[in-house]
């Protein structure tokens, strides 16, 4: 399992698609799945930039991961986004549901990410929602990287302010040097 991490707008989806297409992996975008499946007041919370509860998110991801052959490599984009989600995922690995975890972390300056999100024009990309995402990212998501390190999970870090092709080339270079 290859996990893509980074703040919204860092290029996770772009890199996830490129990697999945080049390597023939399944690409699981948590954001895309949730935007399709979540409705009502929960959807309104998402459109305001707020994260869904860990229980809701884990429940959806658990069902989606049941569709994946655990012997095949796949790209997981946008999960885990909290410590509870991380601990659930680590437990799945401990129970040998998945072979290994490798993390690709896309690091991007906030000003660049803000501009990217505004330009993509999704209804949930308002200044207020973007501000909420940054706050959640710093308080909740970034500590996940430290936890991955504590579990000796390999993290490849990339400068996401570069163009998509350069980042993809760097990712492929590192992945081709990593053994399964």
What pTM did the predictor assign?
0.89
* Segments in the chain forming alpha helices (H): 12-23, 30-37, 40-47, 54-65, 83-94, 110-120, 127-136, 142-150, 164-177
CATH homologous superfamily for 2-177? P-loop containing nucleotide triphosphate hydrolases (3.40.50.300)
**pLDDT confidence of residue 154:** 95
Average pLDDT, the chain: 91
pLDDT for residue 178 is more than 70: no
- Backbone dihedral region of 56: left (phi > 0), alpha (psi from -120 to 50 degrees) or beta? alpha
Tens of pLDDT, residues 119-159: 998 887 889 888 888 888 899 889 999 999 999 999 999 99
Sorted by where each begins, the domain ranges of the chain are 2-177
Average pLDDT over residues 2-20: 95
Note the pLDDT of residue 75. 97
- pLDDT 10s digits, 17-63: 999 999 999 999 998 898 888 888 888 877 776 778 899 999 999 99
């Amino acid at each position: 399992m290859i996990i893509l991490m980074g703040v919204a707008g860092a290029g996770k989806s772009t890199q996830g698609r490129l990697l999945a297409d080049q390597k023939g992996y399944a690409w699981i975008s948590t954001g895309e799945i949730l935007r399709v499946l979540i409705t009502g007041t929960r959807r309104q919370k998402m459109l305001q930039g707020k994260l869904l509860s860990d229980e809701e998110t884990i429940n959806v991801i658990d069902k989606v991961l049941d569709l994946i052959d655990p012997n095949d490599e796949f790209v997981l984009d946008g999960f885990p986004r909290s410590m509870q989600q991380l601990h659930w995922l680590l437990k799945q690995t401990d129970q040998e549901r998945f072979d290994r975890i490798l993390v690709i972390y896309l690091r991007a300056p906030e000003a660049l990410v803000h501009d990217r999100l505004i330009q993509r024009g999704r209804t949930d990309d308002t200044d207020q929602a973007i501000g909420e995402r940054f706050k959640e990212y710093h308080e909740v998501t970034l500590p996940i990287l430290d936890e991955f390190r504590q579990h000796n999970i390999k993290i490849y870090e990339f400068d996401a302010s570069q163009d998509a092709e350069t980042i993809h080339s760097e990712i492929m270079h590192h992945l081709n040097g990593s053994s399964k």
